[in-house]
Amino acid sequence: MEKLEYVQKNLEALGDRDLLEVLAQTPEMLTDLFPRLDMRRGCELTHWTAGEIYCHLADIEIGYGFRIRQALAGADKAQAFDHDRWGIRYRNYESYSARLALEAFCALRRWNLELLRNLEPPDWDKVAYHPERGPETIRFIVQMLAGHDLRHLKELEYIASYVEAG
Instruction: Write the pLDDT tens digit of every residue in 3-37.
Output: 789 899 999 999 999 999 999 999 999 999 999 99
* Domain map (residue ranges) of the chain: 3-13+20-41+48-165
Q: Which CATH architecture has domain 3-13+20-41+48-165?
A: Up-down Bundle (1.20)
Residue-level pLDDT at 93: 55
Give one DSSP letter per residue of the chain, joined into a string.
--HHHHHHHHHHHHTT--HHHHHHHHHHHHHHHGGG--TT--BTTBSS-HHHHHHHHHHHHHHHHHHHHHHHTT-SSPPP--HHHHHHGGGSGGGS-HHHHHHHHHHHHHHHHHHHHT--GGGGG-EEEETTTEEEEHHHHHHHHHHHHHHHHHHHHHHHHHHHH-
pTM exceeds 0.85: yes
